[in-house]
Every structure is written in C-alpha cells, then in structure tokens.
C-alpha cells in the first residue's frame, strides 16, 4: 500500500528531503558555517554570498519534483521495512556542524 497520509506528505518526506539536501549541499553548508565562525556578529553582512549559495542549493533540491519522488521512494521503502520488522531504521548522515 503506497497511499500517503497528510503527515507523511507534508512532514516526513520533506524531512528526508531536508536531510538529503543538506548532505548534497554539504560544501556550501561548511562554507557558510566557517564564514559565520570567523566573522561573529558581522556574519549577516560578511557571509551574504555563502548564505545565498547555500539557499540556492537547498531550494534547488526542494523544488525538484524528481528529488521529491526519490525521497518519497526512500520513505516508502523505510516504511515497508518498519512494517515488516517493527524496527525503525536510522538514516546515516554525514557528520556536519549544522
């Protein structure tokens, strides 16, 4: 059964999308984090370029229908495994400072 509940469509799949997009944009996440650490209170002004690059990268993934379908497929696979085993699988994520 691949029907999705409201919470799955609007919360759980977007959560997977955010996690995966952060991994795929990790170079931009790291550049923004590094800039913020180096500039302190002036980060709003000094890190504008890094922030824009990071937002553009993330929004590019969030608005990609193929990426949504990939994440939906991943979610459905996890849901199927959970229903079969009763064991919730933790996603492996890249370690980052965010």
For residue range 72-98, list pLDDT tens digits in order.
999 999 999 988 888 776 655 444 444
Model pLDDT, residue 82: 87
Report the predicted TM-score, pTM, of the whole model to 2 decimal places: 0.76
Q: Which three-class secondary structure state does DSSP give residue 20? A: helix
Give the span between the Cα atoms of 22 and 27, in whole angstroms.
9
pLDDT of 41 reads: 82
Per-domain residue ranges for the chain? 6-75
Burial bucket for residue 56 (CB in 10 Å: 0-12, 13-18, 19+): exposed
């Amino acid at each position: 059964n691949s029907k999705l509940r409201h919470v799955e469509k609007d919360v759980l799949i977007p959560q997977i999308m955010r996690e995966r997009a952060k991994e795929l944009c990790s170079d931009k996440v790291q550049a923004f984090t590094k800039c913020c650490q180096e500039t302190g209170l002036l980060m709003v002004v000094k890190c504008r370029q890094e922030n824009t690059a990071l937002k553009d990268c993330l929004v590019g993934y969030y608005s990609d229908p193929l990426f949504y379908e990939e994440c939906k497929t991943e979610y459905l696979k996890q849901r199927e495994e959970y229903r079969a085993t009763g064991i919730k699988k933790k996603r492996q994520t890249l370690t980052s400072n965010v």
